[in-house]
Amino acid sequence: MKLYSKFLVFILVLAGVALWLSLAFSRKAVSDVISVQIANHAALEAGELLPGFRKALATGREADGLTVLRAFQQRTLVLYAGLLRHDRKMLAHTSVPPAGAPADLGWVRRLPDREPVYRRTVYKGEEVVEALIPVRQAADPSGGNLLPDGEADKSPAEGFIWAGFSLAAAHRAERTIVSKLLLTTALILLAALIVSGFFVRLILRPVGLLQEGMRKAREGDLAWEVKVTSRDEIGRLARFFNELLRDLKNKKNVIEVYQQTLEQKVEKRTRQLEDSQERLVQASKMAVVGQLVSGVAHELNNPLAGIMGYAQIMLKDSGLSAQQREDLEVILLQARRCKEFIQHLLLFSRKRESVRETVSVHDLLAGVMKLLSLDFFPPGMEVLQDVPRELPPVFGDAAQLQQVFFNIIANARDAMVPAGGGRLQIRAAADGNRIVLKFTNTGPVIPEGNLDRIFEPFFTTKPKGKGTGIGLSISREIVENHKGRLSAESGPGGETTFTVELPVKNENQ
């Protein structure tokens, strides 16, 4: 079922319910109004005969009561009428109840003092309005009021007129009124139905346009837009739908452009993966070389020990000339240097678990520089050190920290080689509870866009085959594991500075 049909069915049901409620409540309202009018009319007529009713109540004679009741019956055309004393006993009645009998007034909650009360009941198969009208002022036998007028309004009822009125004519009037009321209600509902149908179509028309737009979008036509002619909720929904279509169109254009360049991006990523693979292979080779160096160093230790031993024995010979003794001392010195170099090489290449201990930054750098002293820096390169021996110690792994210093110094040397020389300045100082080391070298600066990337694994600015791109990445990880910080900055003056910050050893370490 379409939404328009659902709206119409809903409106029809609503109209039917309204018509039914109108019929039910209008019949009751008209019935109550007619009953009130009959009771009030009877009260007015009783007011005309009030002296006669007062006289009958005062004398207490049934004949006087019947006389005034028959006069009342002729004026109002009641079916029956009775006159009650204040104790609810019958004084006179035009029908069956005898004089002196108590009246059946169970339907009256409280005897009225001023206004009449009424009810609808059935008398001899006919629906009647039964009213109880109070006779408020007491009267003397001559019919005159015993109380002044101002006091009479406050006096209690001395008796009651009990009468039943036929509703035959009232029913005809009631049906006429209800019929006209229903006709009017039906015409109003019909007009409301027509107007509602018009407004429903007016509301649902933009919904149909939105449906058409969704169909167009599903077919791929994202240039279609819904015409917005209102500022209500439907209008806002249409504008939102148009914005959605424009966003989808823009994203579709982006996807098409991306598809056009996807092949180039895949090719670029493939080259990067190939480079990364080559660097991994190179790193594996370097690991193998490290193992070979360790083995070679062990093999060289034995001949060096022999050379040093024979040189020391020969120096004990007192018959040596001064030149021979000098030559032997040179041999012993160079052999000792070779042994120290091999020891540092073994310490650097040996794979072991991390051991934290109290170490001196000065001693760590001295050990690295001894390792690099044998022709590591080509001619034209100058190394300046300002590392005080009295710096506070740090708590860390000596081998790992030496690896960090070695990587930074090696990168500085590689940066100065293309320029044919340069200067490397190493400075260290205490800054509060941290030791700050700065490695500053001349040479080509690092582009600003690469300052953060140089610490990424396998990223390198060196020519192909000259670096693996993992040295600085490992160095940063080592420093951060020591609760420190490794950073780099490269200025327009042609200098690059790597800063290593390490915490000073505290009492708990």
User: DSSP class of residue 448?
Assistant: G
Burial (Cβ within 10 Å: 0-12, 13-18, ≥19) of residue 276:
middle
Closest CA to 297 of 358, 227, 350, 242: 350
Q: Looking at per-residue confidence, does 229 or 62 come out higher?
A: 62
End-to-end Cα spacing for the chain: 81
Tens of pLDDT along 399-431? 889 889 988 988 888 888 777 788 899 999 998
Q: What is the pLDDT of residue 427?
A: 94
Q: Which residues contact 425 (CB under 8 A, 6 or more apart)?
A: 383, 384, 385, 386, 438, 439, 440, 441
Q: What is the pLDDT of residue 101?
A: 57
How far does Cα 73 stand from its chain's mean position? Answer: 81
- Contact status, residue 391 vs residue 435, Cβ threshold 8 Å: yes
Number of H-type helices and E-type strands within the chain: 10, 12
Q: Both tokens of residue 202?
A: 């007016």
- 89 C-beta neighbours (distance < 10 Å), count: 12
Q: Which residues pair with 123 in a beta bridge?
A: 126
Q: What is the pLDDT of residue 120?
A: 80
Gap between the Cα atoms of 427 and 176, Å rounded: 115
User: DSSP class of residue 96?
Assistant: S
pLDDT band at 439 (very low <50, low <70, confident <90, very high): very high
Mean pLDDT within 504-509 = 78
Domain ranges for the chain: 3-175, 357-503
Helices 361-371 and 398-416, packing angle to 10 deg? 50
How far does Cα 38 stand from its chain's mean position? Answer: 68
- Contact status, residue 83 vs residue 91, Cβ threshold 8 Å: yes
Q: What is the pLDDT of residue 288?
A: 60
Q: What is the pLDDT of residue 467?
A: 56
Gap between the Cα atoms of 263 and 115, Å rounded: 101
Gap between the Cα atoms of 226 and 493, Å rounded: 61
Q: Which residues pair with 90 in a beta bridge?
A: 84
Gap between the Cα atoms of 84 and 86, Å rounded: 7
- Contact status, residue 117 vs residue 105, Cβ threshold 8 Å: no
Closest CA to 499 of 415, 440, 413: 440
Q: What is the pLDDT of residue 139?
A: 44
pLDDT band at 151 (very low <50, low <70, confident <90, very high): very low
Gap between the Cα atoms of 255 and 262, Å rounded: 10
Burial (Cβ within 10 Å: 0-12, 13-18, ≥19) of residue 54:
buried
Whether 374 has a pLDDT exceeding 60, the answer reads no
Q: Both tokens of residue 249?
A: 């169109």
- Contact status, residue 106 vs residue 117, Cβ threshold 8 Å: no
Least confident of 311-315, 486-490, 495-499: 311-315
- 383 C-beta neighbours (distance < 10 Å), count: 18
Q: What is the pLDDT of residue 394?
A: 92
3-state helix, strand, coil in the chain (%, to 5): 55, 15, 25
Q: Element (H or E) spanning 138, and its range?
A: none
Whether 144 has a pLDDT exceeding 50, the answer reads no
Q: Which CATH superfamily is domain 357-503 in?
A: Histidine kinase-like ATPase, C-terminal domain (3.30.565.10)
Tens of pLDDT along 19-78? 677 666 666 676 677 777 777 777 787 778 888 888 888 888 888 888 888 888 888 878
Q: Which residues contact 55 (CB under 8 A, 6 or more apart)?
A: 64, 68, 139, 141, 143
Given CA atoms 28, 34, 40, 46 in this order, what sign does their dihedral have? negative
User: DSSP class of residue 452?
Assistant: T
- Contact status, residue 118 vs residue 37, Cβ threshold 8 Å: no
Q: What is the pLDDT of residue 149?
A: 42
Backbone angles phi, psi at 469, to 5 degrees: 80, 15
Gap between the Cα atoms of 497 and 488, Å rounded: 6
Q: Both tokens of residue 329?
A: 């001392």
Q: What is the pLDDT of residue 81?
A: 87
Please state, for a pLDDT cut of 90, what percent of the chain lies above it.
9
Q: What is the pLDDT of residue 502?
A: 94
| CATH architecture classification, 3-175 | 2-Layer Sandwich (3.30)
- Contact status, residue 111 vs residue 156, Cβ threshold 8 Å: no
Given CA atoms 283, 287, 288, 293 in this order, what sign does their dihedral have? positive
Gap between the Cα atoms of 48 and 122, Å rounded: 28
Q: What is the mean pLDDT of the chain?
A: 77
Q: Looking at per-residue confidence, does 314 or 292 come out higher?
A: 314
Q: Element (H or E) spanning 408, and its range?
A: helix 398-416
- 461 C-beta neighbours (distance < 10 Å), count: 16
pLDDT band at 438 (very low <50, low <70, confident <90, very high): very high
- Contact status, residue 401 vs residue 360, Cβ threshold 8 Å: no
Q: What is the pLDDT of residue 276?
A: 66
Least confident of 114-128, 233-247, 269-283: 269-283
